[in-house]
């Protein structure tokens, strides 16, 4: 019996962890390529969930199509966000860019509250309440979906960055922006693609997680915090780091909450991150920061 | 030099301000402005002088507030002893956390401070026997000189003068520091740590010193806040305050003395002025904030520089 | 480039200036300072509350207002569900805006601190707060409409003990003063009638996923899980996730926290679930019907319990003012409210010496997606 509870908690943790991974991957991508810490990242997660809700409601499409539409729409918004809030500031101090993203986050949250209304909403999915039972383990189909889609998308992203031309340009920019520009990399295009990918990933996470909880315009702040912790834990700029970091944080929180104290679960998560950072300041998979 | 005339003028205005109106709500706003100024100035030591971003500053504010409140409630020392202890306890936490985190720089440092801040918040929220948990502490007695009995500050006007004094004193200390040897060591450390180290500056010690001072001052601000508002909850340590303080420092102008004070004024006045807009209030606030960052990346004080051509940035090397 | 920046900053300054200077003058309406959570996690509940007040004020104004023709006007303040913001809002309402009365206290933590600002200065009607100390440590002009959580749990526990046939129960409660008090009350009351309490999990007000806690509770295998959730979004998530963990037992909803939105969001997960409330939506009180109709005309939400409390506050204020013939004589207003029973949209209400209301508590159940009162 006890092993079943343990296995159940680990399964819960892995699914929550996968949502952290999806959120963190976008953050880490923007940081590694553009050296921007984007506080508004969580708001794109929020928009992903809301767009899914409205796409299903206003266009009358099913959940899967709504999620795809929302992901694409928010990815397109990424172009706009970059053009207005990040590209013009690329030469400014990092604190200035950070504050600009904080302003964007406030704008989207409060604008969302105004546009979408204060009432919580529920993204209806046919998979939300359908239970998959494996032995005595109970998981909903939606949670299985989160895990599988997350894994597939990460794999695809990894292939894209490793093998496509754009992926190579992004890596070149990450290593040395000036050098990359000199060799003919279109930095502006790199900025755009990076934001499109990051915002799309965040929106996808929102669309997937939407049906597991109620959505409201302030969910983004939660998402960005989790994303940051995972990114730092795994190592800034490292996609495998985001994967391992996210899954471990999810499992750590589930076990800490399940066996020690639910209220302290988050604090225990933080404590572990602090220990990891003191041991490896660059994070589990990070490379030491070059100055 | 217009600043020679300007500074005394500003101080005289600040001293006279509460007598311009009998409106106690206006006095309340002035107290908030001064409290936030003190906090923003202290955070500015970390952001502007050390050159690191701290997401944990509200925790030290909260530690100061809880220390002063508990000392006042349990030992009847709501006064100078309480505030001094608030500074010491917050500074001690600052020392330990700074000692551990300051070896790390950049975003990792920011997240470390966020982590420590969050742990302190969680403990405050759950250690109900000590802190009364989420319900917070209410009915905190007013600030006396030396605990109970004797004169006590009650009206907003009194708290305004107290906080104004603290702000002027700390601003002067920052000014004196920047013009001292230690101050130059600070700037050298912020601009180029390896170079500073090669010049024989103990970079880590300088940073730790700045961090402890900043957290201790935040503790004092917390203590005054607790006695002034008479109620505190763990929410004083929430991210909302962290973000607000960072906004004040950067919108005002980091690394300057006038900047954080102006930033605090804008924060308090703008939110109050926008109240009439109802639900649009925070949207407009966010829009103005973002616009100011995009159009005035150097902060509001950089406007002054544009008008007068005077350099308000104290010895900031070209970036 | 430089010029456009200048113009923009100047425009921003102008905008800020013009708003600061603006203030509307009317011919002396009675102004009700309304302090509620209008942003942040409690925003929706605050919105329902204020809408309830608006509808009642409109109804009274239609009939000519109070005190021979003075209209009721709500002056709204956002407390963000945060005690310090509540204190600031109350200060502003009294010292700057000079309102006639204050209605507030939707959350206990806010009510408990706000009452120190209003203490003996202004008539202050507290609405949905359930913490006993709100009135126990109250003041001369303080009234509270909701039943305390102790009164609620006295009624509710009798039903749970007598009618539900449970042997074991587990709790999931919010970690605040309200939640802690609930657990304490029910441990005692349910323990007395022989229901074993297997466990309790506290969650935080910012949590969005409860599977960890629910997995733990499910493993204890209780006959019922009692859910204490004041926030609609968190409540609906918990009810859904209880079913999603495969729990087959009974779900019990905490007292006073059932509203149509919660039912809509929770879907099948709330079907058949019990709660207690001061508000029976299927009551045929004509005052309630008139209010609900007005509410429907003005707002798109369905009227909720929290809205009826706001409406009741406005109704009582108007009644007391008309009886006393003054909007500011707080001594007389307080005496009038305590003097006799009042007929309101929720039925008859009486106040005791410390301003605590006594009103009917109904048992309600969700049936076919509607909140219905259980007739015994």
Test the B interface: residue of A36, A91, A99, A241 with most B CBs within 10 Å? A99
- Cβ contact (<8 Å) for C87 and B229? yes
- Which residue on chain C is closest to B267 by alpha carbon? C16
Calculate the average pLDDT of chain A: 88
Test the C interface: residue of B35, B135, B271 with most C CBs within 10 Å? B135
pLDDT of res. A196: 95
pLDDT of res. A132: 85
Min Cα separation B251/chain A (Å): 9
- Cβ contact (<8 Å) for A214 and C237? yes
Cβ contacts of B126 on chain C, cutoff 8 Å: 175
Token reading at C369: 């997606």
pLDDT of res. C376: 64
Token reading at A70: 């929302």
pLDDT of res. A10: 93
Q: What is the number of CB-based contacts under 8 A between chain A and chain B? A: 115
Q: Which of B49-58, B88-97, B115-124, B257-266 has the highest mean pLDDT?
A: B88-97
Neighbours of chain C (3+ CB pairs under 8 A): A, B
Q: Is the pTM of this model over 0.90?
A: no
Min Cα separation B274/chain C (Å): 7
- Cβ contact (<8 Å) for A281 and B108? yes
Distance CA B218, CA B58 (A): 8
pLDDT of res. A76: 95
Min Cα separation C199/chain A (Å): 12
State what percent of residues in chain C have pLDDT above 70.
93
pLDDT of res. C236: 93
- Which residue on chain B is closest to C178 by alpha carbon? B135
- Cβ contact (<8 Å) for B289 and A37? no
Min Cα separation A8/chain C (Å): 7
* pLDDT tens sequence across C150-174: 888 888 999 999 888 899 999 999 8
Query: Looking at B114-118, B199-203, C4-8, C304-308, which range is the least confident one?
Result: C4-8
Q: Does A4 touch chain B (CB under 8 A)?
A: no
- Cβ contact (<8 Å) for C261 and A216? no
- Cβ contact (<8 Å) for A129 and C208? no
Cβ–Cβ < 8 Å for C67, C317: no
Q: What is the number of CB-based contacts under 8 A between chain A and chain C? A: 96
Interface of C with A in 268-297 (CB under 8 A): 268
pLDDT of res. B310: 56
Cβ contacts of A120 on chain C, cutoff 8 Å: 44, 232-233, 236, 261, 265
CB-nearest partner of A267 from B112, B118, B279: B118
Residue B18 has pLDDT above 70, yes or no: yes
N-to-C CA span, chain C? 76
Q: Does C11 touch chain B (CB under 8 A)?
A: no
- Cβ contact (<8 Å) for A236 and B108? yes
- Mean pLDDT of the C221-245 span: 91
Neighbours of chain B (3+ CB pairs under 8 A): A, C
Residue A14 has pLDDT above 90, yes or no: yes
Domain ranges of chain C: 30-147+283-360, 150-277
Report whether CATH 3.40.50.2300 matches the domain C150-277.
yes
Nearest C-alpha neighbor of A74 from the set A121, A112, A125: A112
* pLDDT tens sequence across C332-342: 999 999 999 99
Alpha helix segments (H runs only) across C231-274: 232-244, 260-266
The alpha carbon of A182 is separated from its chain's Cα centroid by a whole number of angstroms, namely 32
Test the A interface: residue of B294, B313, B316 with most A CBs within 10 Å? B294
- Cα separations in angstroms, C168 against A37, A220, C179, C213: 50, 38, 19, 17
- Cβ contact (<8 Å) for C213 and A122? no
- Grade residue B150 by pLDDT with cuts at 50, 70 and 90: low
Cβ contacts of B138 on chain C, cutoff 8 Å: 83, 112-113, 116
pLDDT of res. A89: 85
- Mean pLDDT of the C256-272 span: 89
* pLDDT tens sequence across A26-65: 999 998 888 888 889 999 999 999 999 999 999 999 999 9
pLDDT of res. B90: 95
pLDDT of res. B16: 81
Q: Does A114 touch chain B (CB under 8 A)?
A: yes
Residue C238 has pLDDT above 90, yes or no: yes
DSSP notation for chain B:
-HHHHHHHHHHHHHHHGGGG---HHHHHHHHHHHHHHHHHHHHHIIIIII----S-HHHHHHHHHHHHHHHHHHH--TTHHHHHHHHHHHHHHHHHHHHHHTTS-THHHHHHHHHHHHHHHHHHHH-HHHH-GGG-EE-PPPPBSSSSSS-B--SHHHHHHHHHHHHHHHHHHHHHHHTSHHHHHHHHHHH-HHHHHHTT--HHHHHHHHHHHHHHHHHHHHHHHHHHHSEE-GGGGSHHHHHHHHHHHHHH-TTSSHHHHHHHHHHHHHHHHGGGGGGGHHHHHHHHHHHHHHH-TT-THHHHHHHH----STTPPP-
Cβ contacts of A113 on chain B, cutoff 8 Å: 279, 282
Residue C83 has pLDDT above 90, yes or no: no
Query: Looking at A241-250, A255-264, C265-274, which range is the least confident one?
Result: A255-264
Cβ–Cβ < 8 Å for C358, C371: no
* pLDDT tens sequence across B195-227: 887 877 788 888 899 999 999 999 999 999 998
Test the C interface: residue of A114, A257, A259, A270 with most C CBs within 10 Å? A257
Distance CA B54, CA A1 (A): 45
Min Cα separation A137/chain B (Å): 31
- Cα separations in angstroms, B280 against A70, A110, C33, C90: 26, 8, 20, 21
pLDDT of res. B1: 45
pLDDT of res. C1: 41
Top pLDDT among B214 and B141 is at: B214
DSSP notation for A9-27:
HHHHHHHHHHHHHHHHHHH
Min Cα separation B25/chain C (Å): 5
Cβ contacts of C246 on chain A, cutoff 8 Å: 131, 133, 138
pLDDT of res. A130: 86
Cβ contacts of A216 on chain C, cutoff 8 Å: 41, 43-44, 233
pLDDT of res. B317: 38
Test the A interface: residue of B47, B53, B119 with most A CBs within 10 Å? B119
Query: Do C30-147+283-360 and C150-277 have matching folds?
Result: yes
Min Cα separation C218/chain A (Å): 9
Cβ contacts of C176 on chain B, cutoff 8 Å: 133-135
Distance CA C116, CA B250 (A): 35
Alpha helix segments (H runs only) across chain C: 2-21, 43-62, 83-91, 108-118, 133-136, 149-163, 177-192, 211-220, 232-244, 260-266, 286-298, 305-324, 330-339
Min Cα separation B241/chain C (Å): 12
Nearest C-alpha neighbor of A101 from the set A180, A179, A186, A195: A195
State what percent of residues in chain B have pLDDT above 90.
22
Query: Looking at A197-206, B95-104, B192-201, C149-158, which range is the least confident one?
Result: B192-201
- Which residue on chain C is closest to A9 by alpha carbon? C212
Min Cα separation B77/chain C (Å): 22
Q: What CATH number labels C30-147+283-360?
A: 3.40.50.2300
CB-nearest partner of B233 from C39, C83, C95: C83
Domain ranges of chain A: 21-217
- Cβ contact (<8 Å) for C91 and B25? yes
Min Cα separation B93/chain C (Å): 24
- Cα separations in angstroms, B305 against B3, B45, B190, C173: 12, 21, 22, 55
Give me the count of residues in chain B: 319
- Cβ contact (<8 Å) for A9 and C209? no
Top pLDDT among A170 and C10 is at: A170
Phi, psi of C144 (to 5 degrees): -130, 130
* Residue B88: other Cβ atoms inside 10 A: 15
- Mean pLDDT of the C234-260 span: 90
Q: Which of A259-268, B302-311, C44-53, C125-134 has the highest mean pLDDT?
A: C44-53
Calculate the average pLDDT of chain C: 87
pLDDT of res. B147: 62
The residue to which tokens 């000189």 are assigned = B145
> What's the sign of the alpha-carbon dihedral C136, C141, C147, C149?
negative
């Amino acid at each position: 019996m006890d092993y079943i509870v343990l296995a159940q908690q680990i399964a819960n943790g892995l699914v929550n962890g996968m949502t952290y991974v999806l959120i963190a991957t976008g953050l880490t991508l923007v940081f590694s390529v553009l050296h921007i810490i984007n506080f508004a990242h969580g708001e794109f997660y929020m928009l992903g969930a809301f767009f899914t809700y409205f796409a299903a409601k206003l266009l009358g499409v099913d959940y899967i199509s709504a999620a795809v539409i929302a992901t694409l729409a928010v990815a397109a918004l990424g172009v706009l966000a970059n053009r207005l809030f990040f590209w013009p500031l690329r030469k400014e101090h990092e604190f200035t860019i950070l504050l600009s993203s904080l302003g964007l986050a406030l704008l989207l949250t409060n604008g969302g509250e105004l546009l979408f209304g204060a009432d919580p909403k529920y993204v209806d999915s046919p998979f939300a309440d359908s239970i998959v039972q494996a032995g005595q383990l109970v998981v909903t189909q939606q949670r299985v979906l989160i895990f599988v889609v997350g894994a597939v998308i990460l794999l695809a992203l990894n292939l894209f960055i490793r093998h496509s031309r754009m992926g190579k340009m992004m890596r070149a920019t990450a290593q040395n922006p000036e050098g990359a520009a000199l060799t003919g990399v279109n930095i502006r295009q790199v900025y755009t693609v990076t934001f499109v990918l990051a915002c799309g990933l965040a929106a996808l996470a929102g669309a997937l997680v939407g049906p597991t909880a109620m959505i409201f315009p302030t969910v983004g702040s939660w998402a960005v915090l989790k994303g940051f912790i995972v990114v730092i834990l795994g190592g800034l700029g490292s996609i495998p780091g985001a994967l391992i970091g996210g899954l471990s944080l999810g499992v750590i929180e589930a076990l800490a909450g399940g066996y020690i104290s639910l209220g302290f679960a988050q604090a225990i998560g933080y404590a572990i991150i602090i220990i990891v950072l003191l041991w490896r300041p660059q994070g589990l998979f990070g490379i030491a920061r070059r100055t | 030099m217009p600043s020679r005339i300007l500074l005394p003028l500003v101080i005289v205005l600040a001293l006279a301000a509460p007598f311009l109106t009998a409106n106690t709500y206006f006095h309340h706003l002035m107290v908030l402005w001064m409290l936030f100024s003190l906090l923003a100035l202290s955070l500015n030591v970390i952001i502007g002088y050390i050159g690191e971003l701290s997401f944990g500053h509200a925790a030290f504010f909260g530690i100061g507030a809880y220390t002063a409140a508990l000392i006042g409630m349990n030992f009847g020392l709501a006064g100078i002893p309480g505030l001094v202890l608030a500074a010491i306890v917050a500074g001690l936490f600052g020392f330990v956390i700074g000692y551990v985190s300051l070896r790390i720089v950049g975003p990792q440092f920011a997240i470390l401070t966020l982590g420590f801040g969050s742990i302190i918040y969680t403990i405050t929220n759950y250690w109900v026997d000590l802190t009364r948990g989420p319900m917070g502490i209410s009915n905190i007695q007013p600030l006396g000189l030396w605990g109970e009995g004797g004169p006590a500050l009650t009206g907003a006007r009194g708290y305004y003068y107290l906080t104004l004094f603290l702000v002027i004193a700390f601003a002067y200390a920052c000014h004196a520091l920047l013009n001292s040897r230690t101050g130059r060591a600070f700037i050298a450390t912020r601009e180029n740590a390896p170079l500073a180290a090669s010049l024989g500056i103990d970079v880590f010690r300088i940073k730790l010193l700045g961090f402890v001072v900043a957290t201790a001052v935040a503790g004092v601000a917390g203590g005054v806040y607790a006695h002034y508002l008479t109620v505190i909850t763990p929410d004083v340590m929430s991210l909302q305050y962290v973000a607000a303080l960072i906004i004040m420092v950067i919108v005002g102008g980091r690394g300057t003395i006038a900047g954080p004070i102006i930033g605090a004024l804008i924060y308090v006045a703008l939110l109050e002025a926008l109240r009439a807009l109802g639900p649009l209030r925070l949207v407009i606030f966010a829009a103005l904030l973002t616009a100011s960052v995009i159009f005035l990346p150097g902060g509001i004080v950089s406007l002054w520089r544009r008008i007068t051509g005077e350099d308000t940035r104290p010895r900031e090397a070209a970036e | 480039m430089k010029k456009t920046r200048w113009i923009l900053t100047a425009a921003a300054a102008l905008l800020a200036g013009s708003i600061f200077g603006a203030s509307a003058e009317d011919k002396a309406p009675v102004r009700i300072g309304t302090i509620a959570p209008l942003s942040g996690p409690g925003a929706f509940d605050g919105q329902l509350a204020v809408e309830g007040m608006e509808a009642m004020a409109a109804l009274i104004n239609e009939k000519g207002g109070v005190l021979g023709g003075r209209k009721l006007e709500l002056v709204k303040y956002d407390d963000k569900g945060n005690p310090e913001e509540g204190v600031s809002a109350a200060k502003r309402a009294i010292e700057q805006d000079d309102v006639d009365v204050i209605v507030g206290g939707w959350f206990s933590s806010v009510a408990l601190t706000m009452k120190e600002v209003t203490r003996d200065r202004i008539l202050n009607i507290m609405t949905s707060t359930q913490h006993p100390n709100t009135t126990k440590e109250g003041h001369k002009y303080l009234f509270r409409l909701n039943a305390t959580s102790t009164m609620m749990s006295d009624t509710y526990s009798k039903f749970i003990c007598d009618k539900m046939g449970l042997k074991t129960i587990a709790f999931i409660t919010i970690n605040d003063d309200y939640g802690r008090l609930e657990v304490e009350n029910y441990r005692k009351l349910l323990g007395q009638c022989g229901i074993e309490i297997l466990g309790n999990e506290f969650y935080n007000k910012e949590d969005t996923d409860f599977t960890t806690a629910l997995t733990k509770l499910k493993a204890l295998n209780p006959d019922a899980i009692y859910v204490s959730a004041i926030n609609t979004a968190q409540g609906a998530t918990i009810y859904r996730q209880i079913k999603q963990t495969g729990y087959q037992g009974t779900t019990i909803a905490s007292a006073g926290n059932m509203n149509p939105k919660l039912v809509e969001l929770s879907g099948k997960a709330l079907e058949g679930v019990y709660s207690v409330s001061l508000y029976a939506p299927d009551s045929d009180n004509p005052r309630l019907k008139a209010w609900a109709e007005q509410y429907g005309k003005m707002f798109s939400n369905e009227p909720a319990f929290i809205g009826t409390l706001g409406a009741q506050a406005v109704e009582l204020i108007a009644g007391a003012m008309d009886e006393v013939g003054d909007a500011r004589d707080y001594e007389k207003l307080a005496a009038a409210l305590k003097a006799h029973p009042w007929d309101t949209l929720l039925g008859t209400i009486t106040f005791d010496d410390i301003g605590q209301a006594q009103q009917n508590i109904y048992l309600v159940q969700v049936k076919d997606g509607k909140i219905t009162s259980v007739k015994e």
